[in-house]
Amino acid sequence: MLPDFVSVNPETKEEALAFLDSIGDARVIAGGTDLLVNMKRGESCRNVVDIMNVEGLNRLSVNDGEIVIGSTVTHAAISTITILNDMARSLSAACGLIGSPQIRNMGTVGGNLVNASPAADSISPLLIHDAILSIESKDETREETLENFIIAPYETSLKPCELLTSVCIKALPGYREGYRRTAKRAAWAISRLSVAWAILEDEGRFVDVKLAIGSCTPMPFRPRSVEEFLRGRTKVDPTIGEAVVMVTEEIRKITGDRPSFAYKLPVVSDLVQKALRG
Amino acid sequence: MKNVSFVLNGKRVSCEVQDRELLLHTLRERFSIKSVKEGCGIGECGTCTVLIDNEPHYSCLTLASKVNGHDVKTVEYLGDADHLHPLQKAFIESGAVQCGYCTPGMLLSAYSLLMKNGNPGENEIKEAISGNLCRCTGYIQIVEAIRDAAGLCKCKS
């Protein structure tokens, strides 16, 4: 049984923003796959604003290599829309691994970001695409990078009156791109470690490397020093080996030594190595 | 309270629901559809699966107000004891039903797959039912049943 609340089902963005501005103690619901579970476990609020009927928020548009994904686009849509498969392969692969078919039909990219789990599959691919989020309130529209949006596990910069309306990413033409993860089972499992990558190579050299590691640190992150190190270097085993060691050092810098490192560091090393080798 | 109107198993229906009411409870208590069951209650086991606009959803995590204007199907849509759907027959013939608790949800996930893909491969079948847990059969008979039914039936929306 859910705690008692009053819900509204706005049909336009303006209506939704007006609700968020005027009613206190409100939570936004999209697919509900995180929020309702948390409510069943004891979280409560007086008001719920259901944004699934809001016109335009479920739109996906592509313009000149720029992809704008509305916040209520579902994981199922992201994993099956051909154009995303071509232009943001790591993202569509990651969204195809989230939960189960039912969860993917319900859960949305906006919900995944606002929930801000360290294990959220969509975050790492969006980080390598330098995602910029559009956040709106009744009086203001602002943009924020995904990197700045998530400020701690399960915590974002979103204010109570604000709504995440869309995510904008740029295609990375010419890059080979992907997402791999390990989990306790092949399906219907939470990611234990993940790597998203987009790598541009030319004649045996790394021209540009973008990496993001998920489920390892409090927030998925880009090991920037490693990306910098690899830029322009020849793609040979010693260089890849050095990069892998640097990744583990970056993780150590973020979290300090952890008991889980006995498992995590070898696995993340293997994932990164495979990503770099291709 | 909210008034919701939707299509339930092919028939237009409407009812008053509480704001916090879950579709699972609306179907069980207001429409006496007991095939939709609460297992884990947190969207992990799949026994509450229903089709909304022909796609599987967990009704234990779906607010009833969300289905206003949509199409909802439960296993009753497929057939009844006297007129079994070929998919239901295949489940019986393959031994894909043991305790039966997961079966309605399993059938709906399978039905949704067959609506989109008339000739699914083994991996596609496994993927389609990956959100429905069965603790009796070990899944092999279920996968076989869906494969056998694929050639025989037309899954209509």
Same domain, B50 and B8: yes
Per-residue pLDDT reduced to its tens digit, B44-93? 999 999 999 999 999 999 999 999 999 999 999 999 999 999 999 999 99
Shortest CA gap B79–chain A (Å): 23
pLDDT at A111 over 80: yes
pLDDT at A229 over 80: yes
Same domain, B121 and B56: no
Residue A184's pLDDT band, with cuts at 50, 70 and 90, is: confident
**What percent of chain B is modeled with pLDDT above 90?**
95
Same domain, B94 and B57: no
Same domain, B48 and B105: no
Mean pLDDT of B118-124: 95
Residue in the block written with tokens 């296993």: B75
Query: Does residue A38 sit at the B interface (CB-CB below 8 Å)?
Result: no
Contact A187 B126 (CB under 8 A): yes
* Element holding A45 (H helix, E strand): none
pLDDT at B155 over 90: no
In the prediction, which pLDDT does A267 show?
A: 96
CATH number of the domain at B95, please.
1.10.150.120
Same domain, B45 and B112: no
pLDDT at B154 over 80: no
Same domain, B60 and B103: no
Shortest CA gap B20–chain A (Å): 6
The answer to the question of residue B61 being in a domain is yes
Same domain, B71 and B121: no
Give A86 or A156, the one with higher predicted confidence: A156
Average pLDDT, chain B: 96
CATH number of the domain at B44, please.
3.10.20.30
The answer to the question of residue B135 being in a domain is yes
The answer to the question of residue B70 being in a domain is yes
Per-residue pLDDT reduced to its tens digit, A136-178? 999 999 999 999 999 999 999 999 999 999 999 999 999 999 9
- Tell me how far apart the alpha carbons of residues B64 and B2 are, in angstroms, rounded to a whole number: 9
The answer to the question of residue B157 being in a domain is no
Q: Strands, E, within chain A: which ranges? A: 6-8, 26-29, 47-50, 60-63, 66-70, 132-136, 141-145, 150-152, 155-156, 163-170, 176-183, 191-202, 205-214
Same domain, B18 and B49: yes
Same domain, B101 and B68: no
Query: Does residue A187 sit at the B interface (CB-CB below 8 Å)?
Result: yes
In the prediction, which pLDDT does A92 show?
A: 97
pLDDT at A99 over 80: yes
The answer to the question of residue B112 being in a domain is yes
Q: Which of A110, A91, A126 is nearest to A33 (CA)?
A: A110
The answer to the question of residue B129 being in a domain is yes
> In order of start, what are the domains of chain A with their CATH numbers?
6-50 (3.30.43), 60-170 (3.30.465.10), 192-277 (3.30.390.50)
Write b or e for each residue in A252-278: b if 16 or more Cβ atoms lie within 10 A of its Cβ, otherwise e.
eeeeeeeeebeebbeebbebbbebbee
Among B42, B77, B112, the domain-final residue is B77
Among B50, B77, B104, the domain-final residue is B77
Among B55, B77, B99, the domain-final residue is B77
Q: Domain limits at B107?
A: 86-152
Q: What is the secondary structure of B78-132 as a DSSP string?
A: T-BTTB--HHHHHHHHTT--SS-SSHHHHHHHHHHHHHH-SS--HHHHHHHTTTS
**Structural domain count of chain B:** 2
Query: Does residue B44 sit at the A interface (CB-CB below 8 Å)?
Result: yes
Same domain, B94 and B72: no
Query: Does residue B130 sit at the A interface (CB-CB below 8 Å)?
Result: yes
Contacts of B61 (CB under 8 A, 6+ apart): A32, A33, A36, A37, A106, B22, B42, B43
